[in-house]
Amino acid sequence: MRSGAGGSPLSSGAGAAPAVPGGLGTPRGPPPPPGPPQKRFPAAAVEAVLKAELEGCLRELRYEPGLCREMAAGISEVIRARVKELLVPRYKIVVVTHIGQLNGQGVQVGSRCLWDPATDTFSSYVFKNNSLFAVANVYAVYFE
């Protein structure tokens, strides 16, 4: 006899199936193949979260490089937590927030990832006040 990972004895007899957690005594087959999402990602609700967080945190803020770097990270974490509260199963959530100084210049932000247009999506919101701009993107990638 030999012992499994949990310390329970496993039979080494010919043709005997190892014990399976759950008490049935037969091995489980592979999980069913993944299908399309049962619930579509709520892009409009996520955009409302982005708007509320950016406007709430940055409305009166003046641009300061160190503070804005910390704010971008903190805002991303809050947005991620609020999006997770929407309880959309099997989506990997990635949040990217950029904050920069408004000084008459332009900026271009780009991103790349492997994408399935049938299941993956994103939400984005741009905020500006007299001193700074912020762009927050939430990418929702369906995990099969």
Predicted pLDDT of residue 7: 44
Q: How far is CA 133 from the centre of its chain?
A: 23
**Domain region containing 80:** 43-142
In a domain, 10, yes or no: no
Structural domain includes residue 72: yes
Q: Is residue 2 in some structural domain? A: no
Q: Does any domain span residue 97?
A: yes
| Residue pointed to by tokens 């409305």 | 59
Helix segments in the chain, DSSP class H: 43-58, 65-84
Q: Is 88 domain-assigned?
A: yes
Global pTM reads: 0.72
What CATH number is associated with residue 136?
Answer: 3.30.1140.40
Tell me the residue length of the chain: 144
27-58 pLDDT, tens per residue?
676 665 567 777 788 999 999 999 999 999 99
Residue 122 in any domain: the answer is yes
Of 83, 107, 97, 87, nearest in space to 54 by CA:
97
**99-107 average pLDDT score:** 89
Report which of 137, 80, 71 is spatially closest to residue 101, judged by C-alpha positions. 71
Among candidate residues 129, 136, 132, 131, the one with its CA nearest the CA of residue 53? 136
For the chain, the domain total comes to 1
Question: What per-residue confidence (pLDDT) applies to 13?
Answer: 45
User: How open is the CA angle 47-107-129, to the nearest 5 degrees?
Assistant: 55
Give whole-number Cα distances, 14 to 9, 11, 24, 31, in Å: 15, 9, 19, 26
Across the range 120-139, mean pLDDT stands at 95
Residue 15 is predicted with a pLDDT of 52
Reply yes or no on whether the pLDDT at 19 is more than 60: no
91 contacts 140 by C-beta, under 8 angstroms: yes
Residue 132 lies in a domain: yes
Answer whether residue 13 is part of any domain: no
Nearest 5°: phi and psi at 55?
A: -70, -40
Number of C-beta neighbours around residue 56 at 10 A: 10
